[in-house]
Amino acid sequence: MPDHRGDLWIANTVSDLIEGDVQEHLPLEAIPLAGDVLGLGTTTSIDNGELTFLPNETGNTTIWKCQASDGGIRRLMSGDGGSHFPYVCFSADVSGLKVNVDLEQLRPEPGAPLQAVVAEAIDWLRHQNRLPEAPIYGLRAELEWDSLIITVASKLCMGQQRRNVRLATSESSGSLAALSIYQLLQHYRLAPTDPGDASDPIRYLGASLHWDCCGFYDTQPELGRVTVPQPNAHLHLHGCSQDLRFGGHLHHEHPGTRLRRVKRLAIYPLQQLHTLASDLAIEQVSFANGSLQFRVVNHGAMDVSSVGVAIVVDDSYTTHRYLRLPWLSAGGSEQFSVPLELAKGEHRLEVIADPQRQILETADLQANNRAVLAVRI
C-alpha cells in the first residue's frame, strides 16, 4: 500500500471558490476521517458555512460545520443532506508527521500576529532539522485571544462578477472585484465584553476566547490553493471555541483581532499535493430509428450539479436542443435518447457536455466533453 501520510487532497481551490459559482461538490463520505486528519473547507450554497476538522474522543477526526446565520456549530454526520462541499482540502492520517513546537523555547513575542508566530515556528523547526521542507504545512493550535474576529461564508458565489471581469467590465465590476473576500462574508466578534456600538456591523457573540484550530500555511499563497491568492497571505485557519458554542474562519489579520497567547502548536509537513476535479465526457453516441443515443459520464472525483448538455445538428447552434442534469455523481452516468427528425442526406450531429463551460475542468479534461457523429439518412 502507498504511504499517504504526507499527502494533501484539494477539491477545487480557494481561487475557484472566490472567482464565481462552483457547481462541483465533494461529499463527506469521500473524506476518510480515521486518525488525525487535517482539513478545512466550505459547505453548500444551500446551507452556507465553514468546515473545521478537529480530533474527537475516539482518536479520529470530526468535521464541525460553522453556521453563517449565528456563528454556531454542529457536528456533520453522513447522510444529513447538507454534506457536499464546493471547496475542501484534507490530509491523510498525519499522526506520524506531527511535530510539536516547544513554546517555552520559541517564546513568541506577546501580541505578535498569529501568521508571524507560525512562520517563526516553521523556520525554527527547519533550522533544528526537525521539520522537512514542504510546499504546505498543516497545523493544529490551541489559542487564547484578547479579542477575535471570525468570518463565516454567507454567499459562496462571490458575485460571478469576479469571473466576468476577466472578459469584460460593467458598472459594478470595478468596485466588487476590488473587495477582499473577507469583506463579503458575515463577521462576528468574540471579546470579554460587548463593545456596545450599535453602528458596528460586526455582531458580538460572547466571551468564548479559547479556541481549538486547524489550518494550513502555504509557502506559495499566490497560487490560491488553500489560502486567498494574495502575497503574504500564507495562513488559513478555521476553528471552534472550546465550549463548542461558536466556530468559523479565524480572521487573524483583522485589526480587531488580538492574540493573547499560543497554548499549543503542532506543525505537519505535507509534501504531496493532489487535485480533485470533475471530468465530464460524452460517450456511446449512435443514431438509430430516428433517435440520437448517448451517455453523459462523470469520470472525475467530484459530484457535479446542474450539468448542461447541448445537441447540435449540422452546426446550427441557433436551433440546438438543450438538456440539464440536476446532479451527476463522481463515477456516475446517465443515458439519453433524443428523437431527431432528419431529412435525407448527410448530417453532422454533435453532443456537448457543459457547452457554457460552467464546470471547472482543465483544458485537457475538456477534450472529452464533446462527441461528433456523421449520419447518412
Q: What is the mean pLDDT of residues 340-364?
A: 93
Based on the fold, state whether residues 29 and 152 are members of the same structural domain. Answer: yes
pLDDT band, very low/low/confident/very high, at 177 (cuts 50, 70, 90): very low
Which residue, 244, 275, 306, sits at the end of a domain?
275
CATH value at residue 54: 3.30.1330.80
pLDDT digits (tens, 9 = 90+) for 116-160: 999 999 999 999 999 999 999 999 999 999 999 999 976 544 444
Whether 123 is covered by a domain: the verdict is yes
Task: Report how many domains make up the chain.
Answer: 2
pLDDT digits (tens, 9 = 90+) for 285-344: 999 999 999 999 999 999 999 999 999 999 998 889 999 999 999 999 999 999 999 999
Helices (H) and strands (E) in the chain, counts: 6, 24
Q: Are 60 and 33 in contact (CB under 8 A)?
A: yes
**What was the pLDDT predicted at 78?**
76
218, three cell numbers: 502555504
Which residue, 248, 275, 302, sits at the end of a domain?
275
Based on the fold, state whether residues 329 and 186 are members of the same structural domain. Answer: no
Nearest to 122 by CA among 142, 136, 104: 136
Based on the fold, state whether residues 124 and 230 are members of the same structural domain. Answer: yes
- Which run of H or E residues covers position 120? helix 114-127
Domain carrying residue 226: 7-275
Which residue, 275, 291, 307, sits at the end of a domain?
275
Question: Cell 476535479 maps to which residue?
Answer: 277
Q: What is the mean pLDDT of residues 357-374?
A: 92
Taking 70 as the threshold, does the pLDDT of residue 91 lie above it?
A: yes
pLDDT digits (tens, 9 = 90+) for 26-81: 999 999 999 999 999 998 656 678 999 999 999 999 999 998 889 999 999 876 65
Q: Which long-range contacts (CB under 8 A, 24 or more apart) does 202-206 make?
A: 202/149, 202/256, 203/71, 205/71, 205/245, 205/246, 206/245, 206/246
d(CA 104, CA 108): 9
Q: What is the mean pLDDT of the chain?
A: 89
**Contacts for 226 with CB less than 8 Å, ≥ 6 apart:** 8, 10, 13, 14, 40, 89, 136, 216, 218, 236
Q: Cβ of 140: how many Cβ atoms within 10 Å?
A: 23
Amino acid letter, residue 121: A
Based on the fold, state whether residues 176 and 283 are members of the same structural domain. Answer: no
**What was the pLDDT predicted at 175?**
44
50, three cell numbers: 465553514
Per-residue burial over 53-82, b if 16 or more Cβ lie within 10 Å, else e, is bbbeeeeebbbbbbbbeebbbeebeeeeeb
**Range with the poorest average pLDDT among 224-228, 260-264, 315-319, 345-349:** 315-319
Based on the fold, state whether residues 13 and 97 are members of the same structural domain. Answer: yes
- pTM for this model (two decimals): 0.88
- In degrees, rounded to 5, the angle at the alpha carbon of residue 141 between the alpha carbons of residues 140 and 146 is 155
CATH value at residue 289: 2.60.40.10
